[in-house]
A and B are shown apart, each in its own frame.
Chain A
């Protein structure tokens, strides 16, 4: 070893040739460019969130001066959170704004969780059936039924909105949880079927064949054998539906008024009024997106899995 090292030092046998060196230069410069672009885009993606968080702690003067960094160029105050009733000194006292916010939050959570659960239930049954058995309803065969489900994706919500408004009025479903749950389930069902079909197609049918021979029924095999294997796909479909339904605004704005409206409606109704202050709006927006930020950070794997499903055949 030592000898070899000496030799290389003395005679430069192992020196990089000039072409290698230029390659290395190229490699380094490409690294730098890649990271600069990546960081730039990460800033573009994250800055609005940063801006919103910091704005919740600003006073009017800070907003007008355009201060950006807490503690460095302005003194953070709990102003935004106080207006929402969630700052340390107001959290234990009565607050109508907080009560209102919590009510909307519960509505949003209840509606989006139930709609996603229902969609995943119906969707995974349908996707499993379509991926395993041959159906025939009149002229409809498997591919037609699949197309029927997936074509719902193209249907813009506005087409259904006004008929639903009138129907719900007649059925006394306006401003109820169940009404929104039904329509949200409908809107995410094609996506769930899309993801789950992909998921079930990747599970070999030999598993069911073995299960049938062991005496399980069709449904028994599905529930005890296939569902546990498909769990990651189910989680992906559920979380993606959760995000979509949590954020939905159009139907919520149209079909609810006071009792069951969701968080996005509350946020949107505040943006309209002129008197509302930046810090309280920022606090409200941030509180509305906080659950999603957590989902994004901790369950990112499932969301990516869900969105990537079906992209690659």
Chain B
């Protein structure tokens, strides 16, 4: 009944053969379930569209009925797969719910987003959506704040190099022979746990407060006259970078630490016996071995960095003069001020476009770098 699959190079797969016979009636029932639910869904959808477009009233308050029909169809699809395909259907049941979930929550909104990206849609305006072609694109082209926000994202991403260096140092220290390792691990992990909004008050608004904040006092102690962390563009950006670094260094640190612990101790010891000093030991052994892990950590960090918004929204809300704006915080503000979803969506889609290109290049490069050098 069972045998290992020889076709796939991944030996971890199960290859199940079953000799069950599915009666014809059951197959038909399965198909019938799926199709009848689909018909129901289409009916509801059509009726609701009709109500929206032609003014006929069928008594729908909102699109919920279509949603329920859709959920019903999803359930029937899963059930129908089992009825129609038996064992194979049961195996598909593992990934089908997740696939349906993700498809309906990303692919559908993305397609819908594409529609609103090319329209002028002010939510407070009773006229509703108006298709306006490439107007949004033209507006974007002339919007210095958007390009500024994109440029800021580049700068924020560059700051990851510094975060990586610190994270690597801390991981090395945690990996060395120390006492109270558990305490240090918990302490170092703490910033990541805290909610960015609370952090922005704790650090951004109170500790960095120009008059009474402890960090301002510290700066004054070191001779900075009139310390203010959010009034000049460069300093404000650096401060946001530092706060974000504070939050996310633990993430990289833990990943690097896991990588360090996977390196066999013998390698470093052998190098030591061969007369390598610690400095050589690090650069010739540890660092090259850590390259794949480092690249993974940096990639994940970049992904998180590209979502940066909470801190900026609640500490500076983009100021001064857009110097700390991220794309997300800019779109958020744009929406809050004008409640125009069309333009904001277009900006977000252009951002996504840049990200996809950037990440594809990065992943291709990373693949090349991560190859072990001979």
B1-39 contacts to A, CB under 8 A, are 1-2, 4-5, 8, 12-16
Partner of A311, one of B87, B106, B296: B296
| Whole-angstrom CA separation of A286 from B217 in the bound complex | 23
Partner of A250, one of B105, B185, B328: B328
Interface residues of A (CB under 8 A from B): 34-35, 37-38, 41-42, 44-46, 48-49, 51-52, 55, 63-64, 66, 68, 122-123, 125-126, 128-135, 137, 145, 148-149, 152-167, 169-172, 182-183, 185-186, 189, 193, 201, 205, 208-209, 212-213, 217-219, 222, 243, 246-247, 249-250, 253-254, 263-265, 267-268, 270-271, 278, 281-282, 285-286, 288-289, 292-293, 295-297, 300, 303-304, 307-308, 310-313
Partner of B193, one of A35, A66, A149, A296: A296
- How far does the Cβ of B177 sit from chain A's closest Cβ, in whole Å? 9
In the complex, the answer to whether B193 meets A293 with C-beta atoms within 8 Å is yes
B80-124 contacts to A, CB under 8 A, are 87, 90-95, 97-99, 101-102, 105-106, 109-110, 112-113, 116, 121, 123
- How far does the Cβ of A247 sit from chain B's closest Cβ, in whole Å? 4
- Main SS at interface, chain B: helix
- Main SS at interface, chain A: helix
Residues from chain B with Cβ under 8 Å of A186 in the complex: 101-102, 105-106
Residues from chain B with Cβ under 8 Å of A292 in the complex: 193-195
In the complex, the answer to whether A208 meets B257 with C-beta atoms within 8 Å is no
In the complex, the answer to whether B16 meets A193 with C-beta atoms within 8 Å is no
In the complex, the answer to whether B314 meets A201 with C-beta atoms within 8 Å is no
- How far does the Cβ of B70 sit from chain A's closest Cβ, in whole Å? 10
Partner of B348, one of A149, A158, A212: A158
List 24 A–B pairs whose Cβ atoms lie within 8 Å, in order of A's numbering: A46-B187, A49-B202, A125-B94, A126-B94, A133-B16, A157-B328, A158-B348, A162-B113, A162-B348, A172-B63, A205-B4, A205-B12, A209-B2, A212-B16, A213-B2, A218-B16, A250-B328, A263-B195, A282-B206, A285-B202, A292-B195, A308-B258, A311-B256, A312-B293
Q: Is B190 an interface residue (CB 8 A)?
A: yes
**Interface code B113-153, partner A: CB below 8 Å = 1, 0 otherwise?**
10010000101000000000000000000000000000000
Q: Is B352 an interface residue (CB 8 A)?
A: yes
- How far does the Cβ of B311 sit from chain A's closest Cβ, in whole Å? 9
Residues from chain B with Cβ under 8 Å of A38 in the complex: 173-174, 178, 184
Residues from chain A with Cβ under 8 Å of B349 in the complex: 159
Q: Which of A68, A160, A172, A219 has the most CB of B within 10 A?
A: A160
Partner of B198, one of A163, A169, A267, A311: A267
| Whole-angstrom CA separation of A171 from B327 in the bound complex | 28
| Whole-angstrom CA separation of A243 from B251 in the bound complex | 13
- How far does the Cβ of B358 sit from chain A's closest Cβ, in whole Å? 10
Which 6 A/B pairs are nearest by Cβ-Cβ distance?
A129-B94, A308-B258, A126-B98, A163-B113, A247-B195, A311-B255
Partner of A201, one of B12, B217, B262: B12
Closest to A218 in B: B90
- How far does the Cβ of B372 sit from chain A's closest Cβ, in whole Å? 12
| Whole-angstrom CA separation of A44 from B245 in the bound complex | 12
Residues from chain A with Cβ under 8 Å of B94 in the complex: 125-126, 128-130, 133, 222
Residues from chain B with Cβ under 8 Å of A307 in the complex: 251, 254-255, 258
In the complex, the answer to whether A312 meets B262 with C-beta atoms within 8 Å is yes
Residues from chain B with Cβ under 8 Å of A161 in the complex: 331-332, 348
Residues from chain A with Cβ under 8 Å of B272 in the complex: none
User: Interface size class for chain B?
Assistant: 35 or more
Residues from chain A with Cβ under 8 Å of B61 in the complex: 172
Residues from chain A with Cβ under 8 Å of B42 in the complex: none
Closest to B188 in A: A45
Q: Is B313 an interface residue (CB 8 A)?
A: yes
| Whole-angstrom CA separation of A157 from B176 in the bound complex | 38
In the complex, the answer to whether B110 meets A267 with C-beta atoms within 8 Å is no
Beyond A186-B102, A243-B193, A271-B200, 17 additional pairs, beta carbon < 8 A: A34-B176, A45-B246, A122-B97, A133-B14, A149-B98, A152-B102, A156-B307, A157-B307, A186-B101, A209-B14, A213-B2, A219-B93, A268-B197, A282-B201, A311-B258, A312-B262, A312-B293
Closest to A309 in B: B258
Q: Is B222 an interface residue (CB 8 A)?
A: no
| Whole-angstrom CA separation of A241 from B208 in the bound complex | 30
In the complex, the answer to whether B110 meets A159 with C-beta atoms within 8 Å is yes
Closest to B306 in A: A156
Closest to B257 in A: A308
B185-228 contacts to A, CB under 8 A, are 185-203, 205-207, 211-212, 214, 217
Q: Is B170 an interface residue (CB 8 A)?
A: yes
Closest to A200 in B: B12
In the complex, the answer to whether B95 meets A145 with C-beta atoms within 8 Å is yes
**Interface code B239-265, partner A: CB below 8 Å = 1, 0 otherwise?**
000000010000100111111001000
Q: Which of A64, A250, A268, A311 has the most CB of B within 10 A?
A: A311
| Whole-angstrom CA separation of A282 from B212 in the bound complex | 14
Residues from chain A with Cβ under 8 Å of B307 in the complex: 156-158
In the complex, the answer to whether A133 meets B206 with C-beta atoms within 8 Å is no
Residues from chain B with Cβ under 8 Å of A288 in the complex: 195, 197-198
- How far does the Cβ of B308 sit from chain A's closest Cβ, in whole Å? 9
Partner of A154, one of B15, B313, B356: B356
Contact flag A311-B297 (CB < 8 Å), given A66-B214, A189-B101, A249-B310: yes
Closest to A294 in B: B193
Closest to A271 in B: B201
In the complex, the answer to whether A130 meets B95 with C-beta atoms within 8 Å is yes
Closest to B349 in A: A159
Q: Is B67 an interface residue (CB 8 A)?
A: yes
Q: Is B319 an interface residue (CB 8 A)?
A: no
Q: Is B335 an interface residue (CB 8 A)?
A: yes
Residues from chain A with Cβ under 8 Å of B91 in the complex: 129, 133, 135, 218
